[in-house]
Amino acid sequence: MDTAVAAGRKPRVLYFIVRYPNFSETYMHEEMRTVRDEFDLGIVTYKVSDHPRRNPFPYEVIDYDDTCLVYGKFDKIDQEFQSAAQQEFLEKVGAVIERFRPDVLHAHYFGLGLLLEQLARRHRVPFTIRTHSMDVLSEPPAKLAVLCAAANSPWCLRVLAFPTFRQQLIGIGLHPEKVVACWPAVAVKRFLRPERRPPTGRVMCVGPAIKKKAHSEFVDLAWRMRRSGLTFDLYARGMELENTRAYNARSRNVVNITYADPEDMPEVYPRYDWLVYPSDTKINKVGLPTAIAEAQAAGLGVCWQELPGRREEQLDFLGGAGFLFRSIKEVPAILERPYPEVMRLRGLENARKCDIEEHKGLLTDAWRRWLMRPAASGNAQSPLSANL
């Protein structure tokens, strides 16, 4: 058994996240909330969040003064980490590793695989990665090929990817045994409201105020239904919020624009009948929103923008509990009718497939297999050689 486990302490996992604790990245926070009863966690982030959640876990900011590995232009990234800024960052992170002495490294977003592969070889600590949507969807094939090669490292224990993206990454070159399919991480039990409720006459939209979310279309919907008696509320923060406010003002403020911390959202959803989730079809970078699973768990009806080439993937995620629309013009006819009870019940069940409590083992099992290996030489060998 690994010496860390034999010593009686919790195994240690060092997380890497670009901009923790962004309010819109609750899936990362909920994963950590779920595993921290069994693992001691350290968190390193290299950008300060402009819109942090209220109660984050302890974390350390180490500035990365080079092209962002996730959001930056990939052809500007030194893949060998030879630039002065990259070397300085590796040294600072190395000091954290020496102090925290993690048993495993873990990152959210595929682009950080380049960093973790460097750190794993340097410090002889294995790593895992949870991918999401924006880091795989519509990314240049050349970029994904490089990231797949990094994840094929013997130091990579596992990559988690959405079901459709798993096949995409394998097709690009990621070894099939490296990657497992996993739905988005949602704390479903916190949102679960199985009881049937009387109608509230309220419609909500939620998410970061960024272009791909197309919140102006929610304003258009409210304008179209301004005489319906329904109330429309947008919960958002972000760089596009002022543009949305201005557009809403020109539309006679048909939408109430507000915000709630992620910790408060389980009590927000039950105040509504419907979640409407628009998206910019030209950008086409909205993946599988956790808000949809949260709303389904809370018993809401769901209307979601259909995206080009994504229909089957979206229907699979909805699980028969919700409507896809091609144009916001179609949504009034849906909202004017009660949400079918059969769909509400399907939604309660469908949301469970995203429950992080149920599928966290896809991640922690990979960690535990490494920790339970015969510790003939501790971390002196790679996970691949340890299994030979």
Could you tell me the residue range of the domain that residue 274 belongs to?
Answer: 188-354
Residue 2's pLDDT band (cuts 50, 70, 90): very low
Query: Are 160 and 309 in the same domain?
Result: no
Query: Are 112 and 258 in the same domain?
Result: no
In which element (H, E) is residue 190 found? Answer: helix 188-191
Separation between Cα atoms, residue 111 and residue 126, nearest integer Å? 17
Separation between Cα atoms, residue 153 and residue 157, nearest integer Å? 9
Residue 6's pLDDT band (cuts 50, 70, 90): low
Tens of pLDDT, residue by residue over 268-288, are: 999 999 999 999 999 999 999
* Amino acid 387: pLDDT: 43
pTM (two decimals)? 0.93
Tens of pLDDT, residue by residue over 170-219, are: 999 999 999 999 999 999 999 999 999 999 999 999 999 999 999 999 99
Query: Are 288 and 216 in the same domain?
Result: yes
Query: Are 198 and 302 in the same domain?
Result: yes
For residue 249, give every residue at least 6 positions away whose Cβ sits within 8 Å of its Cβ, in sequence order, or none. none
Query: Are 35 and 112 in the same domain?
Result: yes
Q: What b/e readout covers 174-207, taking b as 16+ CB neighbours within 10 angstroms?
A: beeebbbebbbbbbbebbbeeeeeeeeeebbbbb
Work out how many domains the chain is built from and give that number: 2
Query: Are 266 and 137 in the same domain?
Result: no
Nearest to 89 by CA among 59, 69, 72: 69
* Amino acid 144: pLDDT: 97
**Tell me, what CATH number does 313's domain have?**
3.40.50.2000
Query: Are 90 and 118 in the same domain?
Result: yes
Separation between Cα atoms, residue 151 and residue 140, nearest integer Å? 17
